[in-house]
Amino acid sequence: MPTAPERMRALLAQPGFVTMPAVWDGLTARLSAEAGFETAFLSGSCCAASRLGGPDLDLISFAEMFDSFNMVRGAAPNTLVLADGDHGYGNAMNVQRTVRAYGRAGAAAILIEDKITPRALTSAGKPCITRDEARMKIRAAIDAAKDSGILILARTDCRPTQGIDEALARIEMYAKEGADILFLDSPATHEEYRMGVEAAGGKPCFNVLSPGPGPIPSREEAIALGVKIGTYPTIMLSPAANAMLQGLAALKAGGNASDLALSGAAHRELMGYPAYDEMAKPYRLD
């Protein structure tokens, strides 16, 4: 039976665009799988929101992200998960530990970025390590990936602080080092998306296509620009947060449910109570 990385390689070799919903726990992973999505992105920003109730500013630890991955994997074992490995949680040796752990646990791919850690005590900007340091971290990740075959997604965050030329040079460098997937973060124009794809030298490119700062292309525009994988970190998180706010407002107003609430039967079905009863039948003492 093919491994998760082997299945991911085969998927990326096929024509067509790969849509990855962002997940952060068992429920979001199961809902995504049941909706027909073969892949998912374990998003650091979503994990930070769900675990910390706060922003994605490098406060989440390796252990917390890895625990979230295991929840996702347990609820949707057939889903090809691209895990957010952040900056690898330290130097090149930390990167190797992170890559090996996710590879052993069954991740299909892992993202490693070039931001400085620990980050400056501000939410502004994305200062990055030097190009040579970044090369060594990606090289370390690629070497560690040989144990399991996990794919390496190399991301550069240097566009806002060091300019597009440096960002493109890093994408080209990562591709030559052997990264499997490339990610130019924060392109300032649609043309810069295209330039990032060209710098990847034919390797698949990933990008974030949820609403946010900067020009976010539509799916059709992203395909035309050459992006292979699009992830959507807010596609479930933002509506879910809004629904919770409405539920709390309804409770505050004296009600017991908002207009967005599922019926009792639909809620039980979604949470898997009938499925549990079916699976438990062979083990009952009648």
pLDDT at 71: 98
With contact defined as beta carbons under 8 Å apart, do 22 and 237 qualify?
A: yes
pLDDT at 178: 98
pLDDT at 189: 95
Assess whether 187 and 131 both reside in one domain: yes
Residues of the chain with pLDDT under 70: none
Q: Which domain holds residue 176?
A: 4-234
CATH number at residue 108: 3.20.20.60
pLDDT at 167: 98
Assess whether 25 and 157 both reside in one domain: yes
pLDDT at 124: 81
Nearest-10 Cα torsion for 55, 56, 61, 64: 70
pLDDT at 179: 98
The greatest distance separating any two alpha carbons of the chain, rounded to the nearest whole angstrom, comes to 71
Domain boundary at 234, 257, 273, which? 234
pLDDT at 215: 85
